[in-house]
Chain A
Amino acid sequence: MRIETRRLLNRAFSSLGLISIGLMALVLVVILTPIIAKGSGAFVFRSTVEHRKLMFDHWNRGNPERVKQDEAKAAVARAPVYQMLSDFKAELESMPRAERSRYKKPLRAVETALGRLLGPNPGSRTPVLMRQQYGATRWDRTQAKLDNLLYSEEWDYSNPDALGVKVLRPRVEDFRTTKLEPLFGYVKANIKPMMRPRWTFYWQFLFDTSKDSHIFGGIGPEVLGTIYLTLGAMLFAVPMGVIAAIYLCEYSREGRVISFLRICISTLAGVPSIVFGLFGLAFFLNTIHVSNSKSVLAGSLTLALLILPTVIRSSEEAILAVPRAYKEAALSLGAGRWYTIMTVILPAALPGILTGTVISMGRAAGETAPIIFTAAVSVGRPLLPIEALSQPTPALPWNIYNLCTEHEAVDEIRHVQYGMVFTLVALVLLLNVFAIVMRARISKKLRG
């Protein structure tokens, strides 16, 4: 080949490599940026006085004096609103019947919107559903709910051949010349003193239980459930996988059976995870009854099966990568096979085994399909380790899916959903970083 052609080829190849790396980096940025930006919104946000009230009522957080003061100040700012409402209701009484009924529906809409913004009217009975006990707890939701109070959404279908157009109609128009008219202007102008937004770092989001199916509170049970499931899966998969790998590398004689086994393992690694999920349901729950309902145990076993091939393959590779010389040295000193494996081969293969393990740990933490039928539920309490044997748990991957498709109030809790995604990604990332650091440390120790 001519030297020019060779150079050209070299240059083309290296630039191709550079482009693909750049593309990967770009994709990573595009994926991670919204996750981080939106996910951090679950932890750092402007909380309203309602949030602080909630924290105090249910988690006993915050200085009672200051929460009381906070509430009192907000109540002072809110008082005129309720005053206007009751003034208007008195005014209604004096109206002729026909006119009164004209206001009935708009008034109810205003009251509902106000309830969602500020919480129940002072003095009224406490609603049973927790979501109705508090107003908007976050400033971003406050804005949305304020808009909902100020404007009613209507649709203009005047052009029959086209789709309707959204029209925002100020609600104030329904109440012109009544005593309710100033309410809208007042709320708009005084929303800050009424809600008292303040930047908050809600780190307890990671540990708090959820209240009223994720509408309030944190993702503690989900995080704990994910950790249980992952550790449980490791507990089964790592010993089994490493032992299998040792057998395949050190004990088995190459033959048809062994190569067939190897093919089976590779195939197992390629089986879709939902198949494992269904297998887990059919076998662990319906056949051998490891527990009398979905449970962390059943989920862990299923996840263990899912990652077993990866653990075996990575351990096998790590063991095969141990220099033959170590094995020879040990044997020449009179060590038996088992002793050689335990004292020389496994320690030297440890970094590789560890890397494979932690990577499959990340996979186990993030898998949804295997736990749908075996372990995961929408709501549940954080479990004690002993309860994990018999009880199901919420877990991050499943609840992310659940929140975005099945939850009845999706738009209210987008921040929770993103917070979960963020936490899961961070968890997997942390695991991988941990693996890299561990690997580096052990290799360094081995290298001397």
Chain B
Amino acid sequence: MKKVLLSAAAIAAIALSASAEQKIVIDGSTTVGPIAKAFAEYFMAAHPDVNITVSESGSGNGAKSIMNGVCDIADMSRPMKDSEFKAAADKGIQPVAHVVALDGLPVLVHPQNPIGELTIEQIRDIYTGKITNWKELGGPNLGIVVITRDTNSGTYETFEGMVMNKEKITEKAEYVGSNGAIRQRVQSTPAAIGYAGLGFVDKTVKALKVNGVYPSAGTVRTGEYPISRPLFMYTNGYPKLGSPVYQFVTLYLTEDGQEMVDQIGFIPVTSY
């Protein structure tokens, strides 16, 4: 009886360690999510023995996850902050960044909204609460519904850094938890304004020209569109050459990887 138990335990241990090696856990940004999910699909088709799980909980949570050692790759739509680096280093984690794509940050309104163009200053005034009605911008007489991402989001921090210029977002703003939720809120509210990653723009929302430039792969790549940022995947240390994590985080360099990034709506790194 004891022997049976022992051997069962041994088998379990072996199976456990074997299965533990064959997983890649990805957590973080909802913007990078679609890329990670497409990569995961592609990677698992080629490596059926590896289980890749992707969760989309926001860049901040991605950073926390990798700090705590509970994920292998942290998706982030902003670079890691010094404080995060420090906290990670304290726990013996060395975050290494891999820039997998470039993303613009289109400002979205409902398609019914006649406004087609805003300047950065106007957007800032809307988000600080100085401008509260579309009428002030030449639109219909409608109170502006300001939608923003939660503070855990990398998209939020990008927006704050590139548009808000250290000014505070109005207290009336509505905070939502993901790019998809921003789109959903904007597509159902004619008076809304929001922002999301390029890959989330479809015909149910209207992307505005900012400073006269329409956000597209072309204008983001050339830098004409003013709000853009790189998208990251962070690993703990540089992954061992040839390991599944290495193969995964270098997927964006392959032709197929770039096609995926492009087709999802982001800009592959080698094209800028």
Contact = CB atoms under 8 A, between A and B. Distances in A.
Chains A and B directly touch (beta carbon < 8 Å): yes
A128 B37 contact: no
A162 interface: yes
B270 interface: no
B53 A212 contact: no
A390 B21 CA distance: 10
Given A163-B112, A402-B56, A293 B51 contact: no
Interface in A180-227: 211-213
Question: How would you classify the secondary structure of chain A's contact residues: helix, strand, loop or mixed?
Answer: loop
Contact of B140 (A160, A381, A406): A160
A161 B112 CA distance: 12
A212 B113 contact: no
Contact of B25 (A293, A386, A410): A293
A410 B186 CA distance: 14
A386 B15 CA distance: 7
B167 interface: no
A212 to B, nearest CB: 5
B54 interface: yes
Given A381-B44, A407-B180, A408-B199, A390 B16 contact: yes
A265 interface: no
Interface in B219-235: none
Contacts of A377: 25, 53-55
A392 B53 contact: yes
Contacts of B72: 293
Range for the number of chain A residues in contact with chain B: 35 or more
A211 B141 CA distance: 45
Contacts of A443: none
Contact of A410 (B51, B142, B180): B180
Interface in B29-75: 30, 33-34, 37-38, 40-42, 44, 51-57, 68-72
Contacts of A213: 34, 37-38, 41
Interface of A: 127-130, 132, 153, 155, 157, 160-166, 211-213, 285-286, 292-294, 372-373, 376-381, 383-384, 386-387, 389-394, 402, 404-408, 410-411
Q: What are the 5 tightest A-B residue pairs by CB atom distance, in nearest-first order? A: A157-B114, A380-B53, A293-B25, A377-B53, A163-B112
Interface of B: 12, 15-16, 19-20, 23, 25, 27, 30, 33-34, 37-38, 40-42, 44, 51-57, 68-72, 110-114, 116, 138-142, 177-181, 183-184, 190, 199-200, 202-204, 206, 256, 259-260, 263-265
Given A129-B260, A163-B112, A293-B71, 7 more contacts: A163-B110, A165-B112, A294-B55, A378-B54, A405-B180, A406-B181, A410-B184
